[in-house]
């Protein structure tokens, strides 16, 4: 089934998809290209970026697709990718914050952040901040951040803590932070940020989980897992739905608009997270 896109007069809409060289990101890019969008994907491997652009051009003749290379877990790379995008594009209709990998052991990035937190949350927040003016200049623009079900409140005093580390806890922390950040973003920003949960998709994201979790995931994928191409159709469909409805601060579970999730926030968590994020990312905000 192909996602139906609504007609838009004027210049082609532009989407930037992080993690667009694989899985859901690449599948979504293919659907948007078929709908006449211009799509920019990001990835950290130059060869994979080049191959993805070639694959998408072959799949969608005449597609306007390009790639920007950068490691989403390194904040200088995130700032550079944003600058390169801004230099080449005068509009941004949809920023899809999709990139994710799971680091199984407690690993610190060169910037001094726990690797899962850096890629899943800090890199997304920094990219959104750097591109907020492009989004604000584009009528009907939106940000959609892709998350899973795991939730665990961040340790504000030690956000990169090794205490009690597990990959699932790390996943829960950045996903909690990302959703609290989205709620805080929506208060002052002219551009809505919504949250998207694609369900269990048959990608490689959980392939390195230790047993027995890996076996559980494999069985669940066989029984209820969503095909990658279907997930791309559904995500692109939500992008179009938001473009039409102007939804803000919404939570989509696959194709369904659901009630806002209970994040079990404590009083002041949004303001505290925003201030912490500004402090942690200060060296790269002005780049």
Which pLDDT score, from 0 to 100, does residue 154 have?
97
Which pLDDT score, from 0 to 100, does residue 99 have?
85
CATH level 3 topology of 14-200+228-281: Rossmann fold (3.40.50)
Residue 218 has pLDDT above 80, yes or no: no
Inter-axis angle of helices 123-130 and 167-186, to 10 degrees?
20
Give me the residue spans of the domains in the chain.
Answer: 14-200+228-281
Instruction: Give the three-state DSSP class for 42.
Output: strand
The 10s digit of each residue's pLDDT in 152-201 is: 999 999 999 999 999 999 999 999 999 999 999 999 999 999 999 998 77
Residue 7 has pLDDT above 70, yes or no: no
Which pLDDT score, from 0 to 100, does residue 15 have?
98
Residue 221 has pLDDT above 60, yes or no: no
Between the alpha carbon of residue 213 and those of residues 153, 177, 206, 220, 241, the distances in Å are 22, 24, 9, 10, 34
Tell me how far apart the alpha carbons of residues 31 and 233 are, in angstroms, rounded to a whole number: 6
CB 206 within 8 A of CB 150: no
Give this prediction's pTM: 0.90
CB 14 within 8 A of CB 93: yes
The 10s digit of each residue's pLDDT in 59-100 is: 999 999 999 999 999 999 999 999 999 999 999 999 999 988
Please report, rounded to a whole number, the percentage of residues in the chain having pLDDT higher than 70.
88
> What's the chain's average pLDDT?
90
Kindly state the DSSP code that residue 118 receives in the 8-state scheme.
I
The 10s digit of each residue's pLDDT in 241-255 is: 999 999 999 999 999
Which pLDDT score, from 0 to 100, does residue 10 have?
67
Residue 115 has pLDDT above 70, yes or no: yes
Q: 219 pLDDT band (50/70/90 cuts)?
A: very low
Lowest mean pLDDT across 7-21, 24-38, 75-89, 159-173: 7-21
- What's the whole-number mean pLDDT along residues 196-216? 63
Handedness of CA 140, 278, 269, 157 (dihedral sign): positive
Between the alpha carbon of residue 56 and those of residues 25, 26, 39, 232, the distances in Å are 12, 8, 10, 13
Q: Give the CA dihedral 109, 114, 119, 123, nearest 10 degrees.
A: -80
Which residue in 197, 201, 251, 175 sits closest to 26, CA to CA? 201
- Could you give the angle at the alpha carbon of 270 between the alpha carbons of 283 and 286, nearest 5°? 20
The 10s digit of each residue's pLDDT in 255-286 is: 999 999 999 999 999 999 999 999 999 999 98
Which pLDDT score, from 0 to 100, does residue 286 have?
85
């Amino acid at each position: 089934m192909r996602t139906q896109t609504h007609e838009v007069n004027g210049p082609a809409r532009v989407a930037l998809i992080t993690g667009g060289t694989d899985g859901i990101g690449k599948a979504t890019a293919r659907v948007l290209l078929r709908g006449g969008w211009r799509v920019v994907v990001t990835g950290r491997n130059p060869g994979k970026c080049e191959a993805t652009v070639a694959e998408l051009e072959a799949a969608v003749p005449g597609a306007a697709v390009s790639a920007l290379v950068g490691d989403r877990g390194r904040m200088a790379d995130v700032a550079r990718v944003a600058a390169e995008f801004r230099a080449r594009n005068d509009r941004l209709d949809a920023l899809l914050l999709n990139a994710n990998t799971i680091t199984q052991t407690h690993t610190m990035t060169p910037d001094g952040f726990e690797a899962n937190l850096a890629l899943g949350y800090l890199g997304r927040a920094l990219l959104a901040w750097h591109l907020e003016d492009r989004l604000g200049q584009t009528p009907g623009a939106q940000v959609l951040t892709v998350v899973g079900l795991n939730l665990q409140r961040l340790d504000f005093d030690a956000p990169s803590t090794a205490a009690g580390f597990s990959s699932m806890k790390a996943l829960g922390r950045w996903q909690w932070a990302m959703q609290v950040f989205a709620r805080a973003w929506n208060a002052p920003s002219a551009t809505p940020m919504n949250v998207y949960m694609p369900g269990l998709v048959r990608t490689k994201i959980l392939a390195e989980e230790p047993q027995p979790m890996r076996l559980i995931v494999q069985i669940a994928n066989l029984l209820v897992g969503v095909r990658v191409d279907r997930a791309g159709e559904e995500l692109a469909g939500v992008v179009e739905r938001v473009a039409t409805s102007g939804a803000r601060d919404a939570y989509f579970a696959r194709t369904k608009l659901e009630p806002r999730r209970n994040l079990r926030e404590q009083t002041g968590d949004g303001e505290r997270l925003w201030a912490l994020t500004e402090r942690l990312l200060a060296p790269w905000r002005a780049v």
